[in-house]
Amino acid sequence: MVRSMTGYGRKETMFGALRLSVEMRAVNHRFCEIQVRLPKAYAVLEDPVRRAVAEYVRRGRVDVTVSIEEEAAAETGFDVNWEVAGQYVKALREMKERFSLSEPLSAKDLLLMPGVIAEQEAKETPPEAVAEPLLSVVREASQELLLLKQKEGQKLEEDLKRRLAGIVSWTKEIAQHAPGVVEEYRARLMQRVQEWAQSVTAEIDEQRLAQEAVLFADRSDISEEITRLESHAAQFAEQLEQDEAVGRKLDFYLQEMNREANTIASKANHLLIQRLAIEIKTELEKMREQVQNIE
């Protein structure tokens, strides 16, 4: 099955108080390149994440962004520094006695005093504890990415098959006209010679005319090019059915088909064959643009 190199995948889940988010963007690239961005505290998980993504990617560049954030929760507590609070109470009582203050001391007053309460620091979850749930989310995002790449790949495959069918049809049409090229040339040559003979008193060298026809036939013979073009088209179609990275192979066969079409257009001294060869070259160029996006 043909896969596109472009796609997008995103998944997230909760692991305790942590929100694990994974986002992937895939674009065209000559090789397989996976770039992973992780929070600094979890950088040790970069290689495991890259290996997990590589199970779903055969070619192209994939940018993987991992976010690990702690949710703000009501569970966040605080600690009371009772020793500091006791010192405040003792000091306030002494101040009341010394200055004859009648205002009562409340718990609220104590809570507002610096150093009496302190918010508990969130304990950082170690990377090894996050590894398994994170890799699970990575695989889910990779599966979503793969699904989009396969859908796009199916559209590319349908387009390539349609264009390839046109090329095969034009190639057969060229093969049908190729044998008549030499005969048409021989007929045109004889007509010109006869027209020339009417204006001069010279004897026509039949043997020389035959040699000229043979030379032309040799120069304009495109049977080998037609055979190779048909063979490359068949191999291209076979590659479209392979369940592997075929982008480079497809590009190679397109180059070979283009080479044969060029040769046919230059060798065949025949207007219809040249027109058909140009049609083939035009379709091959469109196909090559599509193949650049295939794994």
Give the pTM: 0.71
pLDDT on residue 187 = 59
Model pLDDT for residues 85-128, shown as the tens digit of each residue: 888 888 878 877 777 777 777 777 777 778 777 766 556 678 89
Number of Cα atoms under 13 Å in the Cβ half of residue 78: 10
**H-run or E-run covering 73:** none
Distance CA 170, CA 285 (A): 15
pLDDT on residue 192 = 61
The distance from CA 63 to its chain's CA centroid, rounded to whole angstroms, is 11
- Domains identified in the chain and CATH numbers: 7-73+129-149 (3.30.230), 78-119 (no CATH), 153-292 (no CATH)
- 74 pLDDT band, cuts 50/70/90, is very low
Distance CA 101, CA 98 (A): 8
209 and 193 in contact (C-beta within 8 Å)?
A: yes
Distance CA 121, CA 78 (A): 8
160 and 289 in contact (C-beta within 8 Å)?
A: no
pLDDT on residue 270 = 81
The distance from CA 227 to its chain's CA centroid, rounded to whole angstroms, is 33
- Which range, of 106-115, 162-171, 222-231, averages the lowest pLDDT? 106-115
pLDDT at residue 76 tops 60: no
Question: If you search the block for the tokens 């306030």, which residue do you land on?
Answer: 92
Nearest to 294 by CA among 8, 35, 26: 26
66 or 73, greater pLDDT: 66
Q: Does the CA dihedral 127-133-139-144 come out positive or negative?
A: negative
pLDDT at residue 145 tops 60: yes
Q: Which two tokens stand for residue 215?
A: 């030379």
Distance CA 237, CA 240 (A): 5
Vertex 253: Cα angle to 251 and 255 (nearest 5) = 70
Mean pLDDT (whole number) for 11-38: 95
Model pLDDT for residues 167-215, shown as the tens digit of each residue: 999 999 999 988 776 666 565 655 565 555 566 555 555 666 566 555 6
Nearest to 282 by CA among 186, 163, 129, 118: 163
DSSP characters over 160-194: HHHHHHHHHHHHHHHHHHHHHHHHHHHHHHHHHHH
Q: Does the CA dihedral 240-246-251-253 come out positive or negative?
A: negative
